[in-house]
Amino acid sequence: MYENIKILKGKRKGPTSIIIGGIHGNETCGVNAVKKIFSTLKIDAGKVIIAFGNPKAIIKKLRFVESNLNRLFRPSKQLSKKEKSSYEYSRMLFLKKYLKQSDFLLDIHASFTPKSRRFIICENNANKIIKYLPFNLVVNGFDAVQPGGTDYHMNKIGKIGICVECGYKDDPKSNFIAEKAIKNFLIATKNIVGNKIQKLQKKIKIYKLYKSKSNIFSLSKKFNDFEIIKKGQKIGIDGNREIRAGKKSIILFAQNTQKIGEEAFLLGEKIK
């Protein structure tokens, strides 16, 4: 069933929205939410496309099988031969056909950090939609520092791409948040009728992605997502080199790595 795409149509004219769960196969809240709405969702206007992102990874309960699908929506010339020969590359080409048909995207994810906060990833073009989603934290800037996601692709082709991080992947609440995000998203896009409740949201902008320069990058400690780090604070050791914060920042998705060029952490700052 994970290979299937479901298209629902309303009786009135309206926009086309696409909802994707399981771009990373082991982030189950999106998969569970998409499964649930597959047979129950009724559309009032326009069209809604429902998709599972990475079927093979979902079945195997892996983040990905051969390449990170959420980094492959970049221009082909920027991808390696290995990436272009992967199963995920063929899946990316398949999903692109449906993204092209859509006006709005909601891509559902979860974090591997137990104390992670729920938040939205988007750019400013999504402001009219995101203010109705059940999140009080919004992060901008990913398109510039970490391109290649579904939302990045939508923004590049003049559409609106929104990614939601629904909290820790093993927290049962993440399933509820994913379902609520879908409903509120479709109300905001006017695909379904419902009450819109505006959220007061704080914003953070990502300004740096650090990739390991050696085969071993080790964090100095376990960082929580959105933990504040001081200027000069030691973040980790890359090979024999200490990596410290250049200024007061907020750290996100910090992890140890064992390969040159792997994503080690992101740094951001509050938008005033």
**DSSP letter for each residue of the chain:** -TT-EEEEE-SEEEEEEEEEE-SSTT-HHHHHHHHHHHTT---SEEEEEEEES-HHHHHHT-S-SSS-GGG--S-GGGS-HHHHTSHHHHHHHHHHHHHHH-SEEEEEEEESSTTPPPEEE--GGGHHHHTTSS-SEEEE-HHHHS--SHHHHHHHTTSEEEEEEEEETT-THHHHHHHHHHHHHHHHTTSS-----PPP-EEEEEEEEEE-SSS-EEESSPPPTTEEE-TT-EEEEETTEEEE-SSSEEEES---B-STT-EEEEEEEE--
pTM: 0.95
pLDDT, tens digit, 9 for 90 and up, residues 38-56 = 778 899 999 999 999 999 9
pLDDT for residue 125? 97
Domains belonging to the chain, first-starting first, are 5-188 (3.40.630.10), 207-270 (2.40.50.100)
pLDDT, tens digit, 9 for 90 and up, residues 215-229 = 999 999 999 999 999
pLDDT, tens digit, 9 for 90 and up, residues 235-261 = 999 999 999 999 999 999 999 999 999
pLDDT for residue 114? 83
Tell me the mean pLDDT in the region 63-90: 97
